[in-house]
Every structure is written in structure tokens, then in C-alpha cells.
A = this chain, B = another copy of it.
Amino acid sequence: MSEVGAPVVVGLELQERMVSLVRAFGLHRPDETPCGQPVSVAEAHALMELSREEPLLQKDLASRLRLEKSTVSRLVRVLEGRGWVGRTRSPHDGRAVELRLTEAGRRTAAGLAEARREKFARVLEAIPEEERAPVLRALGVLEEAMNEGG
């Protein structure tokens, strides 16, 4: 920053934009996904993480979702109840629980991914072509900054 005041001013913009972005996204309503599926946002994210890596320890799921372990405990219980994930004690650590997607869970996750993809494809189409790559880049930069400085 070359000036003292500049980051402050821009900081104001940043937060306001983030706020409206989140609300525009429908994330202030965590009990349903913005993609219209009958799954809560947290559940959808959990399935997404499990699709990415499996098995996953419950504590790792918690840190990826940035949720309290108690919250994750309940979340996982729900997912198990729906038949989407299975739980097994870790062979390496008797305290830990390994999570795995069931077949049904995998199907659900795939469906969610599909719905998300469609939604975002629509969003992307609303972005001028030459802006798309910059926008994606910017999001990456922002996330990295948030992990460091936030």
C-alpha cells in the first residue's frame, strides 16, 4: 500500500461486496442449498468433502468445514441416518471415527454436484466471456489472502 488510507477504504468495499455476495448467493439461509436440492448447505458441503477424499476422519471434516466438532458430530449422525455415510472406528486411533460415503451417498453427492454445476454454469454464462478467467483468479487470490490474513 502506498498510502495509509487506501487499504481502509478498499477494505470497506471488500466487506460490503462479500456480504451482498453471500446474500445474493442465498447462503444466509443454511437450511436449503442455493441449488434447490432438499439438502442443507452444511450437509451438501460435507458430501462434497467426502467425495473429494475418503475415508475422512470426523475431525478433518470439521476442520475443512470450519465447524465445531459438536456440530459435525450431529451433522454426521444425520447423514448416517439418511444412509449416505458410514462410520467406523479408526484402526489407528481408537478415539477417531472414519467416514465413508455409502453407494446412496455417492449418488446423492453426484446429483448435488450436477445441480451445482448447472447453477454455476448459468452464473458463468452471465459473466462476459473475457471476465471469466479474471473472476476465477480473483476468487483464488482472495481465498488465499483470507486464510493468511483473516
Q: Using a CB–CB distance below 8 Å, which chain A residues touch chain B? A: 1-2, 7-8, 10-28, 30, 34, 41-42, 45, 48, 65-67, 113, 116-129, 131-150
Is the CB–CB distance between B116 and A23 below 8 Å?
no
For A123, give its contact among B14, B19, B136 (CB under 8 Å). B14
What chain B residues lie within 8 Å of A16 (beta carbons)? 48
A21 and B122 contact, Cβ closer than 8 Å, known pairs A16-B48, A28-B67: no
For A119, give its contact among B120, B142, B150 (CB under 8 Å). B150
What chain B residues lie within 8 Å of A120 (beta carbons)? 11-12, 14-15, 18
Is the CB–CB distance between A116 and B15 below 8 Å?
yes
- Bound-state CA distance A147–B26 (Å) is 11
Min CB distance, A28 to chain B, in Å?
7
What chain B residues lie within 8 Å of A11 (beta carbons)? 116-118, 120-121, 123-124
Min CB distance, A46 to chain B, in Å?
11
- Bound-state CA distance A25–B18 (Å) is 9
A27 and B24 contact, Cβ closer than 8 Å, known pairs A123-B150, A142-B135, A150-B34: no
Min CB distance, A56 to chain B, in Å?
15
Known contacts A11-B121, A21-B139; can you find 10 more A-B pairs with CB under 8 A? Answer: A8-B121, A10-B124, A11-B123, A14-B120, A19-B48, A21-B146, A123-B149, A124-B145, A124-B149, A138-B138
